[in-house]
Structures are given as structure tokens and as C-alpha cells.
Chains A and B, each alone.
Chain A
Amino acid sequence: MGVIVRTGARATIPLIGIFGAYIVAHGHLTPGGGFQGGATIAGAGILFLLAFGLSEMKRHFNKNLYSALEGIGGLAFLGAAMLGIGTAFFYNVLWHNGPFFNGKPGTLLSAGYLPIMNLAVGLKVFTGLVSAMVGLALYRRWRK
């Protein structure tokens, strides 16, 4: 699009990304969490595609990297759920007697495995939504 939209996108994309990261990181304290923050960061990817066009997006988008990161997000969620398998599945062992993430409730480093799971879900949602959007944009040209 025009130069105004492109310059505005250069200023807005880091803002949206940082705010989405804030939503993901504070998922156990404020409204939001993994999915909402991931969808917000994916909004930054959509803004990049809209402002700079498909050819620029094709140069910066790596299909294998995004596919691998989506799988890593799912595996990290499962790994955090497996930490307390000695007691039960999804047992929050980091909160009960873990080395970290066991601060006072209401602070950032509390709530056991919840920040890890929020990060994993945010990564998975961001990479999945951006991959789906680029796939739709690349699908086919209308007239050829």
C-alpha cells in the first residue's frame, strides 16, 4: 500500500508484538493468556502482509521454521503437563515444590507451570495463524 501505511506499519508492528508478548507473559495475572496474546501477535503478521504485500512476506516467511515452531509449542505444553507425572497428569509440581515459578501469588514468577504453558500456547497460536494466513494468501491467483 501507500507510503503512509508502510511507515505506520513500521511503527505499529513492534507495538503490537510487544503488547501481545505482554498479554502472553501476564496470562496468569491479567485478562488474556496464550490464545489471546498469540492471536494479537498474529495480527502483527497480518499487518505486515497487508502493508508490505505478498512478495515481501514470501521473502521473510520460512515454512519449515514456522511448522517446527508450532510443533515445539505443542510439545512444550505437553512437557509442562508431564512434569508431575509421578503424582498425576497435569499435577502442578513446580508450584508445590519446584525450584522456580513458585513466588507469592499475584507476582510474575508464580503459578507454577502456567507461564510455561501460556508461552507454549502463544507460540503455537502465533505460528499456526500466520502459517494459515500466508497459505491462504499464496493459494492461487484469480485470473491466469
Chain B
Amino acid sequence: MMEQVFFYATLIVMVAGFISVLRIMLGPSVPDRVVGVDTLNTLVVAAMILLGAAYDRTIYIDIAIVYALLSYIGTLAVARYLQGGLS
């Protein structure tokens, strides 16, 4: 019974993720798409934690932590490139 709630919450997060994918596809400029990808990263982390609760596996939280750390590095790399690259 409790697991149903987490699946419904994941569904809502997935709807928000599809909206941000829409922004990534439609975005007229590059920073729009970068912000869309950053939002999608955060939503994916939230969905991972909710699914970890839904399937009752504590181990799945580890993957969410790693994804949160590495998505930050990815966004930072794109931001650094848009600012003029390394050096």
C-alpha cells in the first residue's frame, strides 16, 4: 500500500521531466537548453530516490548520490565552455 504512493510521486516527477525535455527540444538558445538539462538532472535524482523507496532498496540511494555529484560536474563543464573554454 505504501509503495503505491511512491510510484504515483514518481509519475508526477516524470511528467515534470517530460516538460523539461520539451524545453530542451524547443529552447531557442543554448543557455535555455543547459538550464533544461540541469532541471532534468535534479528531477532524475528525485525520481531515483523515490523509486528506491518504492522498491524498498536502500542501495539505490548510492546511485542517486553519484548522479547528483556527476551531473553538477557536467553542468559546470558546459558553463565553462560557454564562458570561453579552458585556460
* Residues of A that sit less than 8 Å from B by CB: 1, 5, 12, 15-16, 19, 23, 30-32, 36, 40, 43, 46-47, 49-51, 53-54, 137, 141
Contact = CB atoms under 8 A, between A and B. Distances in A.
B63 interface: yes
A19 B65 contact: yes
Contacts of A19: 65-66, 69
Nearest to A22: B62
Closest 7 CB pairs between A and B?
A47-B73, A30-B59, A16-B69, A43-B70, A50-B76, A43-B73, A54-B87
Interface residues of B, number: 16
A33 to B, nearest CB: 12
B86 interface: yes
A30 B62 contact: yes
A46 B87 CA distance: 14
Interface in B50-82: 59, 62-63, 65-66, 69-70, 72-73, 76-77, 79-80
Contact of A43 (B59, B69, B80): B69
A5 B69 contact: no
Contacts of B87: 53-54, 141
Given A19-B69, A40-B69, A49 B86 contact: yes
11 contacts: A1-B79, A1-B80, A12-B69, A15-B69, A31-B63, A36-B66, A43-B69, A43-B70, A47-B76, A49-B86, A50-B77
B29 interface: no
- Find the residue from A12, A23, A50, A53 having the highest chain B CB count within 10 A: A50
A31 B52 CA distance: 13
Contact of A50 (B63, B65, B80): B80
B77 A46 contact: yes
- Find the residue from B62, B77, B79 having the highest chain A CB count within 10 A: B62
A47 B69 CA distance: 10
Contact of B62 (A32, A49, A50, A54): A32
A93 B52 CA distance: 36
A137 B79 CA distance: 16
A60 B86 CA distance: 17
